[in-house]
Amino acid sequence: MALKSEMKHDEKGGSQGLLSLRVSLTGMVAAAGLVVCLSTVFGFLGRFSWFMDLFSHFRVQYLLSLALLGLIFSLIHHWKTAAIFIVFACLNFSVILPLYLGGQSQKVGNKMVMRAMLINVNTRLGDPERVKKVVRKVNPDLLLLEEISAKWVEDLKWLGVEYPFSIVRAREDNFGIGLFSKFPLVENKVVRIGGEVPSILATVDTPGGLLKVIGTHPLPPAGSAYSLRRNEHLERLSDHIDSVPTI
């Protein structure tokens, strides 16, 4: 009789332990989802803090993770938790969607179509052979490369054949920049927008007419000082675009 009671006690305890493990796992997943929800809110408060502004760059990740969590909690009938995650997923979706709407496709007709390409090559870790492969595959008319150093310029000498017109400012601090063109650069210069980081202003003489180009690489918002300088850079950018020379 005592043995039977003990067995029942063990069975009950084992059942409670399993239940506890399941609840704990569910709670951990829910807590992770709430962290993503909080990150979503922080992303809207970037004007008040550079740290919160960092959370504004991951809307797609927030959307996908919260949508998945909403589906998971719906399947296990945790409706309130699922609803919270779906609401926050929709909030992120509302920020992303306008980026794909509003623009109207214009018929080109007989006008010339050009292809421009930008690559951040990564000064120290980038692979010149991979860059060469992708450039030749895409075959852009205009190519802007960021983070090029003296070594990168040496590794990319082949560009001189396919892109005979260029302006390059190599640097060793991840802010080198270069514009390579298949068409003549009628006017070009290196300027500094809101700081010491170089940007390129150019006018390209294409068969379809003159084309204004600006290539720039703002500082990353890594800290209060960098964030302020990045914002100043972006605020002054429109003035420099208007000042790009035309013929």
Q: Which of the listed CATH numbers 3.60.10.10, 2.40.50.140, 3.40.640.10, 3.90.650.10 matches domain 116-242?
A: 3.60.10.10
The pLDDT value recorded for residue 105 is 55
Surface-to-core class of residue 232, CB atoms within 10 Å of its CB (0-12 exposed, 13-18 middle, 19+ buried): middle
- Smallest CA-to-CA distance from 152 within 119, 184, 185 is with 119
Low-confidence ranges of the chain (pLDDT < 50): 1-11, 15, 18-19, 245-247
CA distance 83 to 96: 20
Q: Look at residue 223 in the predicted model and tell me its pLDDT.
A: 85
pTM: 0.72
- pLDDT of amino acid 7: 38
Question: What is the model's pLDDT at position 11?
Answer: 47
pLDDT of residue 18: 46
Q: Where are the domains of the chain?
A: 20-99, 116-242
pLDDT in tens, 49-107: 899 999 999 999 999 999 999 999 999 999 999 999 999 999 999 999 998 886 555 55
